[in-house]
Structure 1
Amino acid sequence: MTSFEEAETEETVTCLHLTFYHPCQDEKRMFRCLNFCKREQVRADEMAKFGRDSSVCRYNLMDTRVSRIQFSLQFYRKLHTLEYCFEIKNLSKKTKLTVNQTELGYLNKIDLPWKCIICFGDYQILAEIQEGESVDYFETHLRLAEAPILQERCLPCLPSLQPIPENGISPSFFLSQGKNPTEIDENEL
């Protein structure tokens, strides 16, 4: 047998991609202690904690408005399945955490969806899970967003979201003409 044939089968590793954003990130540099653009291995039995206390948290956010321990992520396998997941728990007594608009109070926890947005204070984190097979560890891959992850959206900015009447003329056409739309009978057309 060759060394190639004797080599252990490589298993894929679950990777948690996290993209961070804060409106003051350039001035306050609260993400300066995070290791961006490089994958980092985390043992499967460790809890990945985020906060400002570097003696407890693996991922440090350098901001006095962040709790000592803000939240944790726990890797686990669902019962009676081969599916691996993450659980997110809010560990801040002062700040609520939202996951895709589900609000978590202190010590509340939920399964992390495969793709979601985590928010607390002015922080926005896009979390995306890439499936893997390894039971010994998972990886984190941190990135920094240059623009807000959540954009305030208004309907006039997104005309494609406005319903178009059957006559095919958008209501915004009338508004741009300075006239209000008037209701007419189909037979008058």
Structure 2
Amino acid sequence: MNVSQTMKTEENLTCLYVKLYHPDQATQPLYSLLPLNCLYKMNAEDPVRLGRDGQACTFVLNDAKVSRKQISFQAYRKARSPEIRFTVQNISQRGKIVVNGSELGYLERADLEDKALLRFGRYELLIWRQPGDSQDSFEVLFEKQNYPPSREMGLEIPCSVAVMDTVLGNYQNNGPLSPEPLESDETLVYE
């Protein structure tokens, strides 16, 4: 056998890009537990969980105001389509997330468009999908963004306050939004 027949071809994986912004990110190590600027390969059947609990979540935010389990991304394919797509699910029992202006309560999920703006607490996440060929795995790439992604999306949403205090409800007219998670964890020591 010649070498070209035995070598595995390089896969072009779908990539889930996540740009993170928090108004206090310059003064607090919120992303110190995340693999920033590094591609992280995931099995397509495994959810990408983000929260503060390192045992329950794939990726961890170093922030006591974030729920232990905050959000989950799940890969899926539509019938007769080779493309990997993603849903986002709110897995926080106490906090809400806002996806492109629509609020998701506990265990509610939404299909992600190719580009989406997620908000919870004082965080803004700009998420986009770069299509690939693989059907059994994908990559995740976390990056810190120095300005609110809402500005990039053409929305003027102040992120210096929690989701409930913003004017985001004016975009959707669904009333007041929820505060950042208020969970307490007896293992945390508060000063």
TM-score range, shorter chain: 0.7 to 0.9
Equivalents in 2 of 1:90, 1:7: separation in Å? Answer: 41
Q: Report what 2:146 is aligned to.
A: 146
Q: Report what 2:37 is aligned to.
A: 37
TM-score by length of 1: 0.76
TM-score by length of 2: 0.76
Q: Report what 1:22 is aligned to.
A: 22
Cα-Cα RMSD: 1.6
Q: Report what 2:98 is aligned to.
A: 98
Q: How many residues align?
A: 154
- How far the C-alpha of 1:79 sits from its partner, in A, is 1.9
* Runs ≥4 residues deviating over 6 A: none
Q: Report what 2:75 is aligned to.
A: 75
Task: Return the structure number with greater helix share.
Answer: 1
Equivalents in 1 of 2:9, 2:26: separation in Å? Answer: 44
Equivalents in 2 of 1:27, 1:9: separation in Å? Answer: 44
**Percent of counterpart pairs with the same letter?**
35
Asked if residue 53 in structure 1 is aligned to residue 42 in structure 2, the reply is: no
Q: Report what 1:86 is aligned to.
A: 86
- How far the C-alpha of 1:2 sits from its partner, in A, is 3.2
3-state SS of paired residue (1:53): coil
Equivalents in 2 of 1:36, 1:59: separation in Å? Answer: 11
Q: Report what 1:7 is aligned to.
A: 7
Equivalents in 2 of 1:14, 1:37: separation in Å? Answer: 16
Equivalents in 1 of 2:42, 2:32: separation in Å? Answer: 20
| Largest Rg, 1 or 2 | 1
- Structure 2: gaps spanning 5 or more residues: 158-191
Q: Report what 1:118 is aligned to.
A: 118
- Structure 1: gaps spanning 5 or more residues: 155-189
Equivalents in 1 of 2:156, 2:132: separation in Å? Answer: 35
3-state SS of paired residue (1:31): coil
3-state SS of paired residue (2:147): coil
Q: Report if the CA contact (8 A) 2:89-2:108 is conserved.
A: yes
